Structure 1
Amino acid sequence: MSEREENGVPSKFLEIDKLLPANSPRTSGENENHVRLLAEAGTDVPPILVHRQTMRVIDGMHRLHAARMRGDDVIAAEFFDGSEEAAFVRAVEANITHGLPLSLEDRRAAAARIIGMFPDMADRSIARSAGLAPGTVSRIRQQMTEGRTPDETRLGRDGRRRPVNGADARKRAADAIMADPTAPLRRIAEIAGVSIGTAHSVRKGLWRRNDVDRPSPDGNATANFRPQARTGHRSHSPERQDSQSRLLVMQKDPALKFSELGKELLRWLHVQSVAEAKISRMTEVIPSHLLPIVADMALHSAETWNDFAEALKERWRHQSDGL
């Protein structure tokens, strides 16, 4: 094995004859035409990915065959450290994001293999890895586990276990919120075994129905903080107009407008303000096959903003305690 610098990054060069073929998610093997195109393109291609423990190719079999076709003795490579099962998942993820995409049949077969290797992995996590909709993964799992007692929880990509039955989980979250409306979302999520995004969604639903009072920034529940009923277009709602007014005030504040991080925060809030006005139109342009992916990304973004809000409220409480 030799090394050299490419764009300032050490690149390993492995002897081709010492590499083992991939445990590939491609059921039909490599595409000869694609190999020929890569061979003609020369060596200006990304490094292949190799499982360090077994020297088996994880991603890059087309590039490996192309190198052999050119008569090369070595090939640029990066190492992956982990189990063979994790290496297969990584191979699937790599083959749906670049190069020659996996077919729908290959992605379904890959999802089935991942379920077999990681039976407690959540459908949404497997769907993200295999480039499928969570519902498709759920149906594949049902076909594979027919006649068996279903698991009550699944393991998410964040390492947390969450219940399979979403309705029961949301009910537990609602009960926890009603018991303590001022509890942080992270605490509610831990009690109910749900994501912070789900806890946030349940709490907003309870606010709209006025089942619980909306907490004020000091942590005390008060009806004064309940959102007004929404009528008409979202962009003309009192909540949105109030948000825009607050943003205008913040944009004039010297503490923010003359600080690099402050200006970045203002850009974040401006983008959020623009997004709020376009949500109803934006939902119509998203292709059906991307709906679960965009929805998942939106929930992740909601969790990020919620963590930000919780950090701000925690800082505000500490400052108030010191007054």
Structure 2
Amino acid sequence: MAGESPAHVETLVTCAAQLPPIIVHRPSMRVIDGMHRLRAAELLGRRKIAVRFFDGPEEDAFVLAVQSNIAHGLPLSLADRKHAAERVIASHPQWSDRMIASVTGISAKTVAEIRKSAGADSAGGAGRIGKDGRVRSSDVTEGRRLAHEMIIKNPGLSLRQVARAAGISPETVRDVKNRVMRGEDPLPQGRSRELLGQGAAGTLATSAALPVTPASAPGSAPPSSAVIERLRADPALRFNENGRDLLRLLNLHTLRTEDWNKIVDSVPPHRKEAVAHLARDCARKWLELASLIERNVVQA
């Protein structure tokens, strides 16, 4: 909000190390990150500077600018970060407080206060997108009720399985599960008697007698297109270059069956063998990537 810092530009002018590329919003050609580096290059009389382009709406470009400037370089002031949070709340009201906090460099509690003071405390009954890209209800009452029913019917389900189905966080599921085990209401402050009804509340005492079904019972995995949509909403992928490359590659596999058939029909007879060989080579690379990712998950 205070503009560029001449002192920081002078520091970059005297810096002997190679500076990272600036980031530019391709549709508008505005600098997202690196104005001080650009000014330093101009003072040094350089005609060219390394650039990485960002393709996307201006709202996402602003988010990337804020996220970049809290990670390195001249840090944003607290006033800058709070002002940025106000803009992100206005442009991305569906994002959770924790998600906005992660890109603006302030606490989730501060984001909640800013959201409330701006009159944007309510999500209109819709869910909010968390840091993991999943949508969760802004009112966890219904999610707690559903989690309570799932735990009673199938105590063998994991926290993540229940959280995914109920649209709440695993920690909230853990709290519901602990309350069930202690014979308490699944909602805090004793509200569940009103919201869940006497029938659901009465099952607390008999939960131990219910049969346990296998943890794999929830159903099959969601289709690839649904998974890719969740990945697109994840800021950890959207706002870094490697993540965007991955999303572009995965997006190629969302083609409909008829589109794949058109591609097959378009391959000329004298190139079929070569294309088939490349397709198998691509498949092997995807399998190698899957193995590396799974190995990293195990090590983590």
- Unaligned 5+ runs, structure 2: 185-203, 216-293
Please name the residue that 1:35 is paired with: 9
Number of aligned residue pairs: 197
Deviation at 1:128? Answer: 0.6
Aligned to 2:146: 172
**1:89–1:129 CA contact under 8 A, matched in 2:** yes
| Aligned-pair CA distance for 1:176 | 2.2
Are the counterparts in 2 of residues 120 and 151 from structure 1 also a CA contact under 8 Å? no
How has the CA–CA distance of structure 1 residues 148 and 121 changed in structure 2, closer, same or farther, with 3 Å as cutoff? closer
Task: Give the distance between the partners of 1:141 and 1:81, measured in 2 at CA.
Answer: 28
Amino acid at match of 1:161: V
Which residue of structure 2 lines up, in the alignment, with residue 269 of structure 1? none
Partner of 1:63: 37
Aligned ranges 1:236-275 → 2 under 5 Å: none
Alpha-carbon distance in 1 for matches of 2:121, 2:15: 51
Partner of 2:20: 46
Q: Residue type matched to 1:96 in 2?
A: I
> Which one-letter code corresponds to 1:86 in the other structure?
D
Alignment of 1:7-156 (within 5 A): 27-42=1-16, 44-145=18-119, 150-156=124-130
Return the alpha-carbon distance in structure 2 between the equivalents of residues 169 and 53 of structure 1.
40
Q: Is the 8 A contact 2:125 2:139 kept in 1?
A: no
Checking the alignment, whether the CA contact within 8 Å between 2:148 and 2:176 is kept in structure 1 is yes
Partners of 2:8 and 2:142 in 1: CA distance: 49
> How far apart, CA to CA, are the structure 1 residues paired with 2:129 and 2:47?
42
| 8 Å Cα contact 2:156/2:213 also seen in 1 | no
Q: Deviations over 1:117-169 (max 9, x none)?
A: 11111111001110111111111111112697744421223332211234553
| Equivalent residue in structure 2 for 1:193, among 149, 158, 167 | 167
Is the contact made by 1:30 and 1:62 (CA closer than 8 Å) also made in structure 2? yes
CA distance in 2, matches of 1:34, 1:191: 49
For the structure 1 residues 59 and 161, does the alpha-carbon distance in structure 2 shift closer, same or farther, using more than 3 Å as the test?
A: same
- Cα distance 1:149–1:195, how it changes in 2: closer, same or farther (>3 A)? closer
> Which consecutive unaligned segments of at least 5 residues does structure 1 have?
1-26, 221-303, 309-323
Partners of 1:177 and 1:148 in 2: CA distance = 29
Flag the structure with higher strand content.
Answer: 1
Kindly provide the CA deviation profile for residues 200-246 of structure 1, in whole angstroms up to 9, marking residues without a partner as x.
45335544669655x9x9949xxxxxxxxxxxxxxxxxxxxxxxxxx
**2:157 maps to 1:183:** yes
Structure 1 pair 66/208, CA: closer, same or farther in 2 (3 Å)?
A: farther
DSSP 3-state at the match of 2:50: strand
* CA distance, structure 1, for counterparts of residue 110 and residue 58 of structure 2: 25
Task: Please give the per-residue CA displacement for 1:223-272, whole angstroms capped at 9, x wherever unaligned.
Answer: xxxxxxxxxxxxxxxxxxxxxxxxxxxxxxxxxxxxxxxxxxxxxxxxxx
Question: Residue deviations 1:88-145, cap 9 Å, x none?
Answer: 1111111111111110100000000011111111111001110111111111111112
Instruction: Say if 1:127 and 1:137, in contact at 8 Å, map to a contact too.
Output: yes
RMSD across aligned positions (CA): 3.3
Q: Deviations over 1:73-96 (max 9, x none)?
A: 111122222221111111111111
Letter in 2 for 1:199: V
Displacement of 1:175 after TM fit?
A: 3.0
* Contact 1:174-1:202 within 8 A present in 2 as well: yes
By how many angstroms is 1:179 displaced? 2.5
Distance 1:149 1:50, change over 3 A: closer
Partner letter of residue 155 of structure 1? I
